[in-house]
Amino acid sequence: MLATSFLTVLKKLEPILYAPSYFHTNYHFLPFNYLLNSCSSLSDLKRIHALILTNGSHKNLLLSIKLITLARSVAPTMDYARKLFDLTPERDLFFWNTMIRGYADLGPCQEAIVLSRDMHRIGLLPDSYTFPSVVRSCAVLSAFMEGREVHCNIIKNGFDLDVFVQSSLIIISLFDRMPSSPVSWNAMILAYGQTNADWFAIKLFRRMLIEKVEFDYITMVSVISACANLEALNTGKWIHKLVRNKGLETNVSITNALIDMYAKCGNIDLATDAFNKLPHKSVVSWTSIIGACASHGHGDDALTLFTKMKEEGIRPNSFTFISVLTTCRHSV
């Protein structure tokens, strides 16, 4: 469907793709902008890039930035984005930041650090969007010497009081100061979650498994919450399997997190299944499943659960009543 839409747009714009040089400099009227907005795959992006090169619009910086941003989102690696980056002679700070963040997100993280040094070497000053990606890359690599070097640059450039930069520094300082134990790994995973870096929390957990560090229920709750925030259902199912293998499925905190995760990922059946397998259900467990049913339009189920909750002697709290009221409102 998306491929058909892209080809339709391409056919309609074909007469003006080889327009005069007016289009080379005015980004907002570029026909390529419409093509890029309908691009959903790396193959589409490569076709558009070929047209841009033929047309001569590759010198337009804003267009190049959009190309590299799309390359970062539709490709599994940074390889094609790097090719675009290397082919662009004039690069502004936003352009560099896009690449650095891309490497921090997709890896290899070492390249984010290298690019930040290259940027510094050519005299381009970083900003508050540069440092968080570099700091997180240092943390993922356990590159604490590089992390301290970045910290010095943060102070030198006057960003030590910036909220976003401070949040990223918390992560590396936690891990740097504590011994490599489950406690320090848990603290770092939690710090990622609290700074809206959920993808990094999951990535760090994978590394924790590779290094054979024992995880516990605290680790699981943090990682499951990260999956919920990202709506990463497949990763959440994988985490749930690890929970079962570890014998932690009856842990109330973990199950509550699983119910929330499955609900946010849109799978009410798996949320209900996790709830039903919990032998001792807390008020949080009941509230989570009632809220999940309410948010997915299962009003009757939510009210039935609320009645059963009271029958079992569990006293509702304010959040339970909010979920029930939400159910009633959707039923009106």
Residue at 104 is within a domain: no
Q: Backbone phi, then psi, for 30, in 5-degree steps? A: -70, 125
Instruction: Decide: pTM greater than 0.85.
Output: no
Q: Are 48 and 15 in contact (CB under 8 A)?
A: no
Q: Are 60 and 24 in contact (CB under 8 A)?
A: yes
Question: What are the tens digits of pLDDT across the range 256-292?
Answer: 999 999 999 989 999 999 999 888 888 999 998 998 8
| Per-residue confidence band for 21, with pLDDT thresholds at 50, 70 and 90 | very low
Residue 127 and residue 40 in one domain: no
Residues in the chain: 332
Number of C-alpha atoms within 13 angstroms, CB side, residue 259? 27
Question: Quick one: average pLDDT of 312-328?
Answer: 83
| Number of other CB atoms surrounding residue 123 within 10 Å | 6
Structure tokens at 202: 């999951």
Which of 142, 177, 212 terminates a domain? The answer is 177
Which of 140, 162, 177 terminates a domain? The answer is 177
Question: What are the tens digits of pLDDT across the range 59-68?
Answer: 777 888 889 9
Q: Determine the Cα–Cα distance for residues 79 and 183; give it in Å rounded to an integer.
A: 36
Q: Determine the Cα–Cα distance for residues 327 and 332; give it in Å rounded to an integer.
A: 9
Residue at 62 is within a domain: yes
Q: Determine the Cα–Cα distance for residues 189 and 183; give it in Å rounded to an integer.
A: 10
Residue at 108 is within a domain: no
| Per-residue confidence band for 10, with pLDDT thresholds at 50, 70 and 90 | very low
Question: What are the tens digits of pLDDT across the range 221-260?
Answer: 999 999 999 999 999 999 999 999 999 988 999 999 999 9
Residue at 100 is within a domain: no
Residue 164 and residue 249 in one domain: no
Residue at 261 is within a domain: yes
Question: Quick one: average pLDDT of 31-51?
Answer: 81
Count the domains in the chain.
4
DSSP state for residue 162 in the 8-state scheme? -
Question: Quick one: average pLDDT of 176-181?
Answer: 57
Residue 331 and residue 296 in one domain: yes
Which of 155, 177, 199 terminates a domain? The answer is 177
Residue 327 and residue 246 in one domain: no
- What range defines the domain where residue 221 resides? 179-276
68 Cβ neighbours under 8 A, 6+ residues apart: 81, 84, 85, 88, 95, 98, 99, 102
